[in-house]
Amino acid sequence: MKRLFCCFVFMLLFIIFSFSQVTGIDKKLLSVELTGEETYFDEEGQEISQKAFKDSINSQKYIFFIRNSIWTLERKYPRGEDIIGKKILFYETKDIYGNKFETNGENITLLSFWDITCSPCIEELTVLNLLVKEFEGLKIVALTKDNAKEVLSFLERHNYNWNNLVLLADYKNEFEVVFVPRVYPANLILDKKNTIIEVFYGKKLRETLILLDSLMKK
C-alpha cells in the first residue's frame, strides 16, 4: 500500500497529510485515510486548525497536487535530525492550574507537543503520566495550542488525571526559531541543559521509552 505526501488547496488553504495513507486512487478520486496525526497549513505555510481544514474540505473547492509544497514546508520546518544539538529556551509561563513553570537544570525533559483532538497524543500522554515515576529525574512537559480552559474541560470531560505531567496551554510557537512540530504527537527529549537529544514524530512511544530508559541509567 503506497504512502504519499499530499496536500490540498482549498481556496486559500492547503493541508499536509504528513503520515496519511493513500488507500485508493484513480483519475477522478483520491482516497486518503487520516491517522489523527495530520498537520494543516495555509498558503503561507502557517499552521491552521483541524476545524479550518474541515470547513475547507466541506466547500468541495480544492485542487489536488503532490510534493512541491511539501519541499517548501520542509525548508521552513526542519526535519528532526536537523535540530539535534540545538537548545530550547523556555519562556516564562504558568501551567493550566496557574502554577509557575520553571526548569531547574536538574532534569531530563520530555517536551511533548499535542492537542485535544489528537487521539495518538492522548493515548501517549495517558501512558506517560503513569510511567513518569519509573524514571527518576525525568520531567514531562505537555505543550498545546489549545487554551487552558479547553484543556481543563477536556480533562474533566474524559476523567483524565494527568497530575504527573506539566501541562502548558496557549502555546504560540515560542520555540519557532528552533522547532515547529509538523505532526502530532511530536516529542523532543532534552538533556539537563535543555539541549535537544532526539526528536520523535508520530506514534513512537516505544522508541521514546527505550531512549529515556537508556538516559536514566547513565
Q: What's the CATH code of the domain at 161? A: 3.40.30.10
Using 50, 70 and 90 to split pLDDT, how confident is the model at 80? low
Q: Which domain-ending residue is among 53, 77, 101? A: 77
| 213 C-beta neighbours (distance < 10 Å), count | 11
- Structural domain includes residue 167: yes
Q: Which domain-ending residue is among 77, 99, 117? A: 77
Judgement on whether residues 68 and 110 belong to the same structural domain of the protein = no
Q: What secondary structure, in 3-state letters, does the chain show?
A: CCCCCEEEEECCEEEEECCCEEEEECCCCEEEECCCCCEEEECCCCEECHHHHHHHHHHCCEEEECCHHHHHHHHHCCCHHHCCCCECCCCCEECCCCCEECCCCCCEEEEEEECCCCHHHHHHHHHHHHHHHHCCCEEEEEEECCCHHHHHHHHHHHCCCCCCCEEECCCCCCCCCCCCCCCCCEEEEECCCCEEEEEEECCCHHHHHHHHHHHHCC
- Structural domain includes residue 126: yes
Judgement on whether residues 40 and 87 belong to the same structural domain of the protein = no
- Structural domain includes residue 143: yes
CB 82 within 8 A of CB 191: no
Give the contacts of 89 (CB within 8 A, at least 6 positions apart).
175, 178, 194
Judgement on whether residues 106 and 69 belong to the same structural domain of the protein = no
Judgement on whether residues 68 and 116 belong to the same structural domain of the protein = no
pLDDT digits (tens, 9 = 90+) for 3-42: 433 444 333 344 444 444 444 444 455 555 555 556 666 6
Q: For residue 115, what are the domain limits?
A: 81-216
> Average model confidence (pLDDT) for the chain?
76
Q: Which domain-ending residue is among 48, 77, 106? A: 77
Would the pLDDT of 69 be above 60? Answer: no
Domain count, the chain: 2
